[in-house]
Amino acid sequence: MNEAHHDPRNPRVVIIGAGMAGILTVIKLREAGYTNYAIYEKSDRIGGTWRENTYPGIACDVPSHLYTYSFEPNPDWSETFAQGPEICAYFQRVADKYGVTQEVRFNESIPYCEFKDGRWRIRTSTGREDVADVVIAATGVLHHPHIADIPGLETFAGTAFHSARWDHSVPLADKRVGVIGTGSTAIQITSAIAAKVKRFDLFQRTAQWVMPIENEVFSEERKAAFRDDPAVLAAFKAEALDYFQHFSNAVIDANSREMAELEAACLANLEDNVKDPVLREKLRPNYRAGCKRLIFSPDFYQAVQSPDAHVITDAIDHIEPAGVRLKTGELRELDVLVVATGFRADSFIRPTTVLGRGGVNLDDAWAESPSAYLSISIPEFPNFFMLNGPNGPVGNFSLISIAESQVAYILTLMEEIRGGRCREISANAEVSASFEEKRVEAAKKSIWSTGCKSWYLDKHGVPASWPWSRDDFFKTMAQPQLEAFDRV
């Protein structure tokens, strides 16, 4: 970019990532009158999480009509909890409709950003150099696969892959399939294929509580009613939101009535639907429901009780060419091995090198654990904003509604730059430290702090999430406090 063209009244904005949040950012920037921007995407198409993950059974655990842009309702969702391909198609449709797709610079990641001489100096994977007044990281949370360190994994003679790198060229019907892990992904895979393969082994280190849900398939008449009468759709969304509100209020207070009701529902689901007492005990967690990310499924218990399905709770010793060798000495022979061991949820924009004011490295700023004021701004990283960043409400809200409120907040901060009231803006260090102290204290009261290991916890065992109510979050985001930010 030619810096001679720099116009502070129309700041240059670089957006990193063309998933849900990146698409949203471009649309909202345009609405606000910004025309000087670029959006970079590491892959060859949009979609983020829904592009990366294509495993059988992938679906959203937020009701479809809530996992939708507020300005682009979709009356045509096929079911309450839409599957991945339908969600990805929705984002592609929105990106095309609003002219975002044609503006994305695909196959171009950003490995390096440096704040120097009052602006961000950016280098892309193609060698391109860009200069920006503002950087917005819409890089998501669940896109860096975590592959468990299992001895001998590379020696497996069959087909092995991470769940986020599913090999659809491999037929499964006549195969012995093993899945390592019992998070949401593994549960969805189990529901999708356990009854359809020759033999299915679920290697479980930790049992999961499963919340029963009804996944209604919407008839054409129901979808037509949603299309024809916005009030019908609004009423349906309000009903779904009320249920979701109940859940989000439960998890932030481990001693709440709502949490007790939720735990009772999970326990009844296990007791009523798993008939074999031995299997039931294998599937009974030894921690409170909700401590780990709660699993929502209408049919996991049914699937895992298929005649050729097995829950393996003996520890894995190593992988060898023929399959999985357990510490008991037993060999579970397999043709296909799926590693469903999650993601590096604390990576955020990393491995991108991000250097802030005075050359401070983001890795050093996050040496203890990733943090950001209101999950969007980091002290000493001016004009650098994150969507769904550290310690945001990832555990109990729709990420779309979170991102919409965060974009609105960021646009308020950017208006300080565009209006000429400052050139640089970032969260004040003292305010950020005070906010983090309060957040940590509040998090101790949440269900996530009741004694289990989960990806919600940082290395100090503190839940890395928003620990207050849904209403508190949206009220906070709707009322930006400029005094919490350093402005130069």
Read off the pLDDT of residues 376-387 as tens digits, 9 standing for 90 and up: 999 999 999 999
DSSP 43-104: SSSS-THHHH---TT-B-SS-TTTSS-TTS--TT-SBSS-BHHHHHHHHHHHHHHTT-GGGE
pLDDT in tens, 275-304: 999 999 999 999 999 999 899 999 999 999
Tally of structural domains, the chain: 2
Same domain, 330 and 367: no
Run of H or E residues at 221: helix 220-228
Position 128 in a domain: yes
pLDDT in tens, 304-326: 999 999 999 999 999 999 999 99
As a whole number, mean pLDDT of residues 166-184 equals 96
Same domain, 193 and 333: yes
Q: Is the pLDDT of residue 366 over 90?
A: yes
Rounded to 5°, the CA angle 43-344-254 comes to 130
Amino acid 76: pLDDT = 97
- What residues make up the domain containing 306? 153-216+223-339
pLDDT in tens, 110-152: 999 999 999 999 999 999 999 999 999 999 877 778 888 899 9
Tokens standing for residue 75: 């009356």
pLDDT category of residue 59 using cuts at 50, 70 and 90: very high
Same domain, 192 and 265: yes
pLDDT in tens, 424-478: 999 999 999 999 999 999 999 999 999 898 878 888 888 888 999 888 999 999 9
Same domain, 58 and 201: no
Nearest to 405 by CA among 12, 24, 15: 24
Same domain, 380 and 435: yes
pLDDT in tens, 91-101: 999 999 999 99
Same domain, 138 and 227: no
For residue 85, what are the contacts with CB-CB under 8 A and spacing of at least 6? 54
pLDDT in tens, 194-238: 999 999 999 999 999 999 999 999 999 999 999 999 999 999 999
pLDDT category of residue 27 using cuts at 50, 70 and 90: very high
Of 68 and 247, the structure prediction assigns the larger pLDDT to: 68
Same domain, 317 and 175: yes
Q: Is the pLDDT of residue 394 over 90?
A: no
Picking from 339, 360, 385, the residue at the C-terminal end of a domain is 339
Amino acid 241: pLDDT = 87
pLDDT category of residue 1 using cuts at 50, 70 and 90: very low
Of 348 and 150, the structure prediction assigns the larger pLDDT to: 150
Q: Is the pLDDT of residue 483 over 70?
A: yes
Q: Provide the mean pLDDT of the chain.
A: 94
Same domain, 247 and 381: no
CATH number at residue 104: 3.50.50.60
Same domain, 136 and 157: no
pLDDT in tens, 70-82: 999 999 999 999 9
Picking from 300, 324, 339, the residue at the C-terminal end of a domain is 339
Nearest to 477 by CA among 396, 332, 373, 343: 373
Amino acid 6: pLDDT = 66
| Residue 18: count of CB within 10 angstroms of its CB | 29
Amino acid 463: pLDDT = 87
Q: Is the pLDDT of residue 244 over 80?
A: no
Position 148 in a domain: no
Picking from 324, 339, 354, the residue at the C-terminal end of a domain is 339
As a whole number, mean pLDDT of residues 161-167 equals 96
Tokens standing for residue 397: 């809200």
